[in-house]
Amino acid sequence: MPTSAPVFDALESTSAAVAAIADALPDWTLPTPAEGWTVAHQVAHLAWTDEVSLVAATDPEGFTALLQEAMKDPMGFVDAGAAELAAEPELRARWDRSRAALAAALRAADPGTQLPWFGPPMRPATMANARLMETWAHGLDIADAAGVALNAPDALPHVAKIAYKTRDFAYTVNGETPPAEPFDVFLVAADGSEVCFGPGDAPQRVTGSLEDFCRLATQRINVADTDLVATGADAAHWLTIAQCFAGAPGTGRAPTSN
């Protein structure tokens, strides 16, 4: 029986919200905040990664072959895949097929199985969470290009979870040693509900808006433009390097506030 869990539902609803924004644009050559990437590049990246994730979920041997090919250009294969697919005439239909097939495959997979990936293997729900984070983040870029807001509140608690869990990754990818002590994170959603992580009594803590925290960790906003408040020097530094996506350290966004 297919698995029913909030993260799977959020992935599908967020993908649909992003697709609706993209569909309303007459021109996918519009630039987005990601340097050199148009709306078509953003959609192509989502479609390409969904296709690769589908292979990981359904064909481990096929994924091994993809991994070997990717290692020929480990720093450029993702961007190359997006650039190639961006020129695909049937990109929109291809994205529909890939995201629908991936959602179904992840729901149908044994919840305890370990799916191969470019990094550590992931359970189906974890892979769904990773795809949700990327879909939401790239959806923000598409929404910015369109001059509208991405309304996907169900995605935010899941994105924040990844952001919290990747704290140490943010340090190591920047060549720094992660703090030994856990942090507390207390966030408030637009509806007033709270999303919290950590032991509850940590000296180092972050408080503020749930959406701002998610935007910061996906590097779609500068910390100066958020309402996030850090208590403790380590927590304050984390907010300057937070990164929940794989790869080299991101350049982040310049502040817009004075």
pLDDT in tens, 37-64: 999 999 999 999 999 999 999 999 999 9
Band of pLDDT at residue 243, cut at 50, 70 and 90 = very high
Q: Which of 68-77, 187-196, 227-236, 237-246 has the weakest average pLDDT? A: 68-77
- How confident is the model at residue 79, as a pLDDT? 75
- How confident is the model at residue 92, as a pLDDT? 93
CB distance 44 to 83 below 8 Å: yes
pLDDT above 90: residue 115:
yes
Arithmetic mean of pLDDT over the chain: 93
Please name the amino acid found at residue 143: A
- How confident is the model at residue 77, as a pLDDT? 72
The DSSP element (H or E) to which 184 belongs, if any, is strand 184-188
CA distance 235 to 171: 12
Ordered by where they begin, the domains of the chain are: 6-151 (1.20.120.450), 157-241 (3.30.1050)
Both structure tokens of 171: 């340090």
